[in-house]
């Protein structure tokens, strides 16, 4: 049984209210925009995601990022997991990402996390994304018990939960 209903259609363009930003599924072709976004915020991203995901490694290469984005693109097409890029209006920059994944730990039916580049930390854009994501998940995704990693549960507490069998 899939973690999503067979007839579920994932959103392909999600405007971020009160901004010129939007979310859309990430693609391999976004590597030229994604790599500088990730590596430019790598130290802070490692503090968030490193203990759980081992990402992004200090030595991550452009090619490794490209392969990772290709994996994400394929997983999105197969509805296995989702990575949405936070894009500026003209899609000239990746400014963050939102991840929507099947549960790895017990107690939820979907796990959601997100980040913005260092330059947007504390900004109106970050606050708008922080407000949007839970509303968007409630409105457009078929979850009864989504978990917002690093938001409604700390990463450390999440890691301590039993794995889904």
What would the pLDDT profile of 35-79 be if each residue is shown by its tens digit? 999 999 999 999 999 999 999 999 999 999 999 999 999 999 999
∠ CA(65), CA(27), CA(60), 5° rounding?
5
- CA atoms of 8 and 11, how far apart (whole Å): 10
Q: What percentage of the chain carries pLDDT values higher than 90? A: 98
Whole-model pTM? 0.97
Which residues pair with residue 97 across a beta bridge? Answer: 85, 115
Domain ranges of the chain: 14-154
- CA atoms of 76 and 78, how far apart (whole Å): 5
Strand, helix or coil for residue 40: helix
Q: Which CATH number fits domain 14-154: 3.40.630.30, 3.40.640.10, 3.50.50.60, 3.30.930.10?
A: 3.40.630.30
Query: Residue 104: which pLDDT band, with cuts at 50, 70 and 90?
Result: very high
What would the pLDDT profile of 9-43 be if each residue is shown by its tens digit? 999 999 999 999 999 999 999 999 999 999 999 99
């Amino acid at each position: 049984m899939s973690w999503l209903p067979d007839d579920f259609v994932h959103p392909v363009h999600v405007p971020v209210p009160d901004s010129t930003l939007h979310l859309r599924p990430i693609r391999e072709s976004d590597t030229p925009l994604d790599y500088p976004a990730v590596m430019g915020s790598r130290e802070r991203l490692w503090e968030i995601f490193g203990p759980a995901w081992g990402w992004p490694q200090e030595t991550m290469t452009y090619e490794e990022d490209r392969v990772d984005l290709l994996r994400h693109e394929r997983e999105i097409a197969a509805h296995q997991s989702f990575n949405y890029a936070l894009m500026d209006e003209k899609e000239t920059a990746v400014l963050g990402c939102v991840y929507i994944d099947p549960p790895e730990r017990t107690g939820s039916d979907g796990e959601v996390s997100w980040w913005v580049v260092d330059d947007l930390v504390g900004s109106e854009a970050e606050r708008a994304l922080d407000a949007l994501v839970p509303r968007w998940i409630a409105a457009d995704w078929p979850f009864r018990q989504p978990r917002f990693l690093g938001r409604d549960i700390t990463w450390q507490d999440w890691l301590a939960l039993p794995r889904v069998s």
